[in-house]
Amino acid sequence: MTEKKFSYEPERIAEDLYAIPLPLHDGSPVNAYAAFSEKGVWLIDGGLMSERAQTTLREGLRSIGFHFDRDVKGLLVTHGHVDHMWCVAPVAGAY
């Protein structure tokens, strides 16, 4: 069986919004979103709390010119599935 390859490159979907694909446990992507302004970045869903997902999130933010600890101002969780809300602790821990 051939292993699937996924891209985790951020994609600009609006002037002030990027989709940042993050890996689930099986490697398939789920999107987090980074909405930004001159005041900083708000994440919309943030993926799993796994080291791989959180590293991918931080690398994605860096690739679009932001730093997680400095620029992320908050998190909007759209619903209670773990692939959307497990990242709350790392975001809250930045404050």
- Note whether 64 and 83 are within 8 A (CB): no
pLDDT exceeds 90 at position 8 = yes
Question: Tokens representing 72?
Answer: 């992320």
Query: How far apart are alpha carbons 28 and 63 in whole angstroms?
Result: 20
Number of alpha carbons in the 13 Å side-chain half-sphere of residue 52: 12
Q: What is the pTM of this model?
A: 0.86
Query: How far apart are alpha carbons 40 and 67 in whole angstroms?
Result: 10
What's the count of helices (H) and strands (E) in the chain, helices before strands?
Answer: 4, 5
pLDDT digits (tens, 9 = 90+) for 11-49: 999 999 999 999 998 989 999 999 999 999 999 998 888
